[in-house]
């Protein structure tokens, strides 16, 4: 089965600073999803990447897919308290099954 490794496991960032989360797959990535989860809540879809080199942005969050490296990164610019939570990457199989990483916990301090 496909394994996803996320790094770092957790990070603390000062409000206004940038941060980057990485997601590395043990196998070829056919599609990569990024979700955000707050404690006690379900997963909220952020964005999906399908093609190598694809880059998507939404507000202050940018995600990229490096197909050759079997890796994706999620970058947050000028972090805000609302960015705090757990970020999960999920690799999609051809029929839509998602294999998730363990998540990266983000804490934003004043």
Footprint on this chain of other proteins (rule: CB under 8 A): 4, 30-31, 33, 35, 40-45, 48, 50, 88, 90, 92, 95-98, 100-103
Sheet strands (E) in 1-110: 4-7, 10-14, 19-25, 32-37, 43-49, 55-58, 61-66, 71-76, 85-92, 98-100, 104-109
Kindly state the smallest distance separating residue 13's Cβ from other proteins, in Å: 20
Q: What is the CA radius of gyration of the chain?
A: 13
Kindly state the smallest distance separating residue 85's Cβ from other proteins, in Å: 14
Kindly state the smallest distance separating residue 6's Cβ from other proteins, in Å: 8
Nearer to other proteins, 76 or 88 (CB): 88
Nearer to other proteins, 68 or 95 (CB): 95
Contact 71, 91 (CB under 8 A): no
Contact 60, 13 (CB under 8 A): no
Nearer to other proteins, 13 or 47 (CB): 47
Spatial separation of the C-alpha atoms in residues 107 and 53, rounded to whole Å: 29
Nearer to other proteins, 19 or 35 (CB): 35
């Amino acid at each position: 089965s496909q394994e996803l490794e996320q790094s770092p496991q957790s990070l603390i960032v000062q409000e206004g600073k940038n941060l980057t989360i990485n997601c590395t797959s043990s196998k070829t990535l056919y599609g990569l999803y990024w979700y955000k989860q707050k404690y006690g809540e379900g997963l909220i879809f952020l964005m999906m990447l399908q093609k190598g080199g694809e880059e998507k942005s939404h507000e202050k969050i940018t995600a990229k897919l490096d197909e050759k490296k079997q890796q994706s990164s999620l970058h947050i610019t000028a972090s805000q308290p609302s960015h705090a939570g757990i970020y999960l990457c999920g690799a999609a199989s051809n029929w839509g099954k998602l294999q998730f990483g363990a998540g990266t916990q983000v804490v934003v301090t004043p």
